[in-house]
Structure 1
């Protein structure tokens, strides 16, 4: 997954402003307790980060984006 695709999915799921807040503030256990921004900055694969987001917020993710 391209990083641009990742951010499009985040924006669609949370809204553009809130997506950035989630990425910088929320820690995700699946990412080793890191934030999305930290995981991406440390080289984590965007697809792996997206799947962690899907598991952390299953009720928010549109079914067509869970892949």
Structure 2
């Protein structure tokens, strides 16, 4: 799964690791603060060894692989798997 996404997008995921804080930011941006906790605790990810995202993070699984597994399971479109397009505000 990871190789397919990198090869098809050749984007910012390539050869970059993800911090746990970035994982949580992406989760909240995509799913909203009300749903993130439940999704991370209650959904079992086969790509994370049959663990929830929280359990997988606690076990040291790479946050990027957990994020991509959740994206796959929740049918997050490829163009949103990199997070929101945050643009710097122009000062006037």
TM-score, length of structure 2 as denominator length: 0.63
Count how many residue pairs are aligned between Structure 1 and Structure 2.
65
Structure 2 residue ranges without an equivalent (≥5): 1-17, 83-92
Moved over 4 A (4+): none
RMSD (Å) for aligned C-alpha atoms: 1.4
- More strand per residue: 1
TM-score, length of structure 1 as denominator length: 0.84
Structure 1 residue ranges without an equivalent (≥5): none
Q: State the structure with more CA Rg.
A: 2
Q: 1:42 aligns with which of 35, 53, 59?
A: 59
> Is 1:21 aligned to 2:1, yes or no?
no
